[in-house]
Structure 1
Amino acid sequence: MIRRLAGRTSGAVTRALRNDRGVLIYLAAVGANTAWNLRRTPVLDGGARPAAWRPAVAVLVPARNEERGIGRCVRSLLAQEWEALRVIVLDDGSTDRTADILARLQQEDGRLTVLRGSPLPDGWLGKPWACAQLAEAAADAELLVFADADTWHAPGMVAAVAAAMERERLDLLSVVPRQELGGAWERWTVPLIPWALMTHLSPAGAQRFGLAFAAGAVGQVLAFRREAYGRLGGHAAVRSAAAEDVAFARLATRAGLRWRVASGREVSACRMYRGRSEALAGLEKNLFPAMGGRTVPYVLAWAWLLRAFTWPALALVIGAAAGRRRAAAAGGAELVLGAATWLAVARKFGLPLRLAAEGPLVAAAGAFAAVRSLAAWRGGRAEWKGRRLAG
């Protein structure tokens, strides 16, 4: 029976991979979902100010071995145009110059509070534990804004976040910064995050229909009303989640809270990784858990993504060279539909427009990183910044 079931599944996958009509229908559906999500994704305005809401804000930054960017990040936060503001950074056991840089910044500006992280408890991953400590230190804040240490911000970022949350009565806001991309491997990996969020998850569907499985967020800038953060259980509720941002979006959906993903291209920027090795290591950490952590669906999903977004470019070239007009036309149509999603996402989030042409390469690079992620997590070797995540 198991063999028959496996055979039928394999046959169904094979037929699906060969079926251009099915791929075209799928790409049209992805395009519709992308358009709906992007329509529901505001772009934060650096000049916006709340009409009446003036919450006490704490900007909270977990930092582990962030000597390259922590100075720029903290200075940009201390320059925010917001009166009731605290900036708190937690040095999470850094072994580079992060602690020294933070000590110097604290001497320069007394508004900065620097904490030293406590040892990691059993059952916790590093970032959720660091954020939980930061939230506890900001008990008097009405608005908690968690910002990654590799981000930097325009002076109106906090005000823009508060204005958006006031206008839409939001409990949670995920802000996707403009991604600074240094080279080909960064360009072919980092944009997968906002692209997948808009194309294959559905923040709009999650909010409209309460579909928690479709919810997703980006944690580079994540803002909570204090009451909502407590209602969700704080970071203790996502203590073991490698993709804690996605976990929070799904918790918020189940709890019936109001939340939104916004483009922060005008108010925030981020340089996630530098070069091929860092980019692949970052996706290795995130891809498998972010896609549910189940091996068979994960493998089938990436096989399908390669078929839908990489194969059409090859089919177009091969079909044209061999005089197979129908195959070339199908490949061309699939290529255009896939490129349209990249173009739309790139425009919304301030990514390079050339990604519309490079989509097949991005899918191929993503699949390569996906294999590494699967091997690392299944083999108990997943780690980040010297900390083991699995095994």
Structure 2
Amino acid sequence: MTWLTPVAYALFLLLLVYRYATRGPRLSAYQPQRDGPLVSVIVPARNEAVNIERCVRSILQTEYRSIEVIVVDDRSTDATAEIVERLARAPEATGRLQLVRGAELAEGWFGKRVGTHAAVKQHVAEDLALAQLYVRHHLDIFLTHGDQYMAVRMYRSLPEVIEGWSKNLALGVPLMFPPNALMRRAAPYLMWVPALCWIVPPLAWAVAGQAWAAVTTAISLAIWVAVYRAEGAPVRYTLLYPLGAAMVAYIMIRSALRGPNVEWRGRRYGLGAK
């Protein structure tokens, strides 16, 4: 009967993946428009000299005509602002691209000093905190899938992946737990446990030839095949999912040991950060 728990967990995850892949609405269900009201695309950037030109040019080339791009430079220490200023002088960007230079934040704020963000000013992962606040106040959140219309790349190297996700987990994971001080303090230490459900079955199958491990591994592989197909990634990489799970476990443990104070783009975030 020892096989029931991991198999049940794998089936549960398979159900979640299926719901994610099939739920609506999707952006493709709406009639495309080439013109209409002005749409302002706000691009927050800090030390993005490597990426900012490609990002801005891509947005300016959208088929929707009535569009402007506002790049908010968050006190970058590299050439981000200079690159945007150069792009703004180009004929195709005239009147469509502007640079806004960020200023020092007020005491107690982590960013986005506007509108409803006053309610989550103390959170770095304010998007999750704001969504939770909406739900508690019975407000609607509209989400649509538009993955076939855009592509982004969060990180360019393994060190960036580790550093970025350590930050996200340290500051965002506690918000996924009930608003109880003890639970949220324990959250970073608990989140790495599910990764074991991806790691243990393949190991048990390879080392001891356990039947339950073989079944669980097959289900896990099916889950990752579905995920990779949905994301347009090469399916052959699914065979490496145990290594990915091990990396996730490492990042989670690293995040828990480092605590709430993290550094990103040369700036410290978290409790007591300056």
Please give the range of the TM-score, normalised by the shorter of the 2 chains: 0.7 to 0.9
Query: Match of 2:5?
Result: 22
Q: What's the CA shift string for 1:127-182, capped at 9, x where partnerless?
A: x33xx4xxx7xxxxxxxxxxxxxxxxxxxxxxxxxxxxxxxxxxxxxxxxxxxxxx
1:103 aligns with 2:88: no
Q: 1:383 aligns with which of 255, 263, 270?
A: 263
Please report how far the alpha carbon of residue 55 of structure 1 lies from its aligned counterpart in structure 2 after TM superposition.
3.3
Letter in 2 for 1:280: I
Residue 247 (structure 1) shift: 2.6
Alpha-carbon contact 1:43-1:348 (below 8 Å) kept: no
Label 1:309 to 1:263 Cα distance change in 2 as closer, same or farther (>3 A).
farther
Q: Secondary structure at the match of 1:354?
A: helix
2:259 is aligned with 1:370: no
Which residue of structure 1 aligns with residue 204 of structure 2?
Answer: 315
Query: Matches of 2:269 and 2:133 in 1, distance apart?
Result: 22
Whether 1:256 aligns to 2:134 is no
Question: What is the aligned residue count?
Answer: 259
Matched, 1:299 2:189: yes
**1:331 lines up with 2:209 in the alignment:** no
Identity %: 36
Q: d(CA) in 2 for partners of 1:258 and 1:47?
A: 18
- Aligned-residue offset at 1:46: 11
**Partner-residue secondary structure (3-state), 2:4:** helix
- Which amino acid is 1:21 matched to? L
Deviation at 1:47, TM superposition (A): 9.7
Relative distance call for 1:258 and 1:50 in structure 2 (3 A) is farther
Does residue 123 (structure 1) correspond to residue 3 (structure 2)? The answer is: no
**What amino acid maps onto 1:384 in structure 2?**
W
Q: 1:241 and 1:354, CA in 2 relative to 1: closer, same or farther beyond 3 A?
A: farther
Shift of 1:44: 4.1
TM-score under structure 1 length normalisation: 0.61
What is the TM-score of this pair, normalised by structure 2?
0.85
2:131 and 2:141 in contact (8 A); partners too: no
Secondary structure (helix, strand or coil) at the match of 1:72 reads helix
* 1:373 match: secondary structure: helix
1:7-66 CA-partner distances (Å, limit 9, x unpaired): xxxxxxxxxxx9421111121122112212221155544995159x93321100011100
> Match for residue 180 of structure 2?
none
Q: Report whether the alignment pairs 1:350 with 2:232.
A: yes
**Residue matched to 1:49:** 32
**Aligned-pair CA distance for 1:344:** 1.4
Q: 2 CA distance for matches of 1:290 and 1:61? A: 21
Q: Which amino acid aligns with 1:299?
A: Y
* Contact preservation (8 Å) 1:46, 1:267: no
1:282 to 136, 145, 164: 164
Q: For residue 363 of structure 1, give the secondary structure of its aligned residue in structure 2.
A: helix
The equivalent residue for 1:112 is: 97
Change over 3 Å in CA distance of 1:336–1:55 after alignment to 2: farther
Question: How many Å apart are 1:366 and its aligned residue?
Answer: 0.6
Q: Which residue identity is paired with 1:288?
A: A
Matched residue SS, 1:113: strand
The structure in which a higher percent of residues are strand is 1
Name structure 1 gaps, 5 residues minimum.
1-17, 137-229, 321-326
Q: Relative to structure 1, is the Cα distance of residues 313 and 263 closer, same or farther in structure 2, using a 3 angstrom cutoff?
A: farther
The equivalences for 1:232-243 within 5 A come to 233=116, 235-243=117-125
Q: Name the CA distance, whole Å, in 2 between partners of 1:261 and 1:364.
A: 31
Structure 2 contact 221–238 (Cα < 8 Å) conserved:
yes
Change (3 A) 1:250 1:346: farther
Q: CA RMSD in A?
A: 2.5
What letter matches 1:385 in structure 2?
R
> Is residue 166–residue 251 contact of structure 2 (8 Å, CA) maintained in 1?
yes
**Deviation at 1:277?**
1.3
How big is the shift at 1:353?
A: 1.8
Quick check: 1:32 aligned with 2:32? no
Aligned-partner residue type, residue 274 of structure 1: R
Written as runs of structure 1 = structure 2, the 5 A alignment for 1:39-188 is 39-41=22-24, 44-45=27-28, 48-50=31-33, 54-108=36-90, 109-110=93-94, 111-125=96-110, 128-129=111-112, 132=113
CA deviation string 1:300-340 (max 9, x = no partner) = 3312321x1011111111113xxxxxx2x111111111122
User: What is the DSSP-based 3-state SS (H/G/I as helix, E as strand, rest coil) of the residue aligned with 2:98?
Assistant: strand
Measured in 1, the distance between the counterparts of 2:214 and 2:230 equals 25
C-alpha distance in 2, partners of 1:69/1:373? Answer: 26
**Are the aligned partners of 2:39 and 2:66 in contact in 1 as well (CA < 8 Å)?**
yes
Does the 8 Å contact 2:199/2:242 carry over to 1? yes
8 Å CA contact retained: 2:88, 2:98: yes
Unpaired segments of 5 or more residues in structure 2? 176-183
